[in-house]
Amino acid sequence: MNYTPHFGQITRYLPYFCGGAAVSLLLATLAFSGGMVIGLLGAMAKTSGGKVLRRFAGAYVTFFTNTPALVQVYFIYFVLPSCGIVLDSFDAVLLGLTLNSGAYLTEVQRAGFASVRRNEVEAAETLGMSRRQVVWYLVVPHIVRTLYPPLTGQFILITLGTSMGAVFGVEELTGRAFSVNAETFRSIEIFTVVGAMYVVVTILASLLLTIAGRSLFRARVSVF
C-alpha cells in the first residue's frame, strides 16, 4: 500500500468541519428536546392513562424501538411526499430522530414515574395540586435528578445518530466529511479528523451535561 497521509491538505477544511459539528449538535439538541416532551406524554399515558392511551403509547414505543432510525427517516423523507407531506432533508432527519428518541425516552421517563413514592404524590394532591402540577413540580424534577445519567447517555447517542443525516444530504459533520472526501479523495485523513472531532464533541457535551446536572438538578452524575 503506497499511500502517504498528508493531513496538511485538509487543515483548510477544519472551519467547515466545525460548522458541521455545530449542525450535528443543533440536530441532537432539537431532537432530544422534542423527544423529552414526547417521552413525558408517553410515560404519562403508560402509567396513568386509559386503556386506549396505554395501548397507543405501547404500540408507538414498540414500533420505534424495534425498527432502525435510518428506516424511519427513509419513510418520512421518501414516503410521506406521496401523501402530500414534503419535508426537506434537515426537517425529515430531525423528525425521525425526535420520534425515535421519544420512544426510548418514554421508557426512561416511565421508570422515573414508577420511582416516585406514592406518599409524595398523595401529599401533593392533599395540598390541592392538580395532576399537571404534580407532574411538573414533583415528577419531572424527580425524573431529572434520578435518571440524569441515562438521559445524558441518550443525548450522546442522538448526537452520534445525527451522522445518518449525511445519507439525506444534510450538511452535518459526516455529511461535510463526505463532501470533502469527494473533492480531495483523502479518506484516511478526513475520517481520522472527523472521528476525533466526534470524540471531542461528545466529551464536551458530557462535561457540560454533567455540570448542568450537578448545579441545576443536584443529580448524582460522574464526568465519565
pLDDT at residue 101, as a whole number: 95
Domain contains 33:
yes
In a domain, 28, yes or no: yes
Whether 71 is covered by a domain: the verdict is yes
- Residue 91: what pLDDT? 95
Q: 7 and 189 in contact (C-beta within 8 Å)? A: yes
pLDDT band at 55 (very low <50, low <70, confident <90, very high): very high
- Per the structure, the complete domain to which residue 41 belongs is given by 9-216
Cα diameter, the chain: 76
Per-residue pLDDT of 128-171, as tens digits, reads 888 778 777 777 777 777 777 788 889 999 999 999 999 999 99
Say if 90 falls within a structural domain.
yes
Residue 4 counted as domain residue: no
Q: How many distinct structural domains can be found in the chain?
A: 1
128 part of a folded domain: yes
Q: How confident is the model at residue 76 (pLDDT cuts 50, 70, 90)?
A: very high
Average pLDDT over residues 71-95: 93
pLDDT higher than threshold 60 for residue 207: yes
- pTM for the model stands at 0.85
| pLDDT bucket at 218, cuts 50 / 70 / 90 | low
CATH number, domain containing residue 127: 1.10.3720.10
Q: Is residue 91 part of a domain?
A: yes
Q: How far apart are CA 159 and CA 168, in angstroms?
A: 16
With cut-offs at 50, 70 and 90, classify the pLDDT of residue 30: very high
- The answer to whether residue 3 sits within a structural domain is no
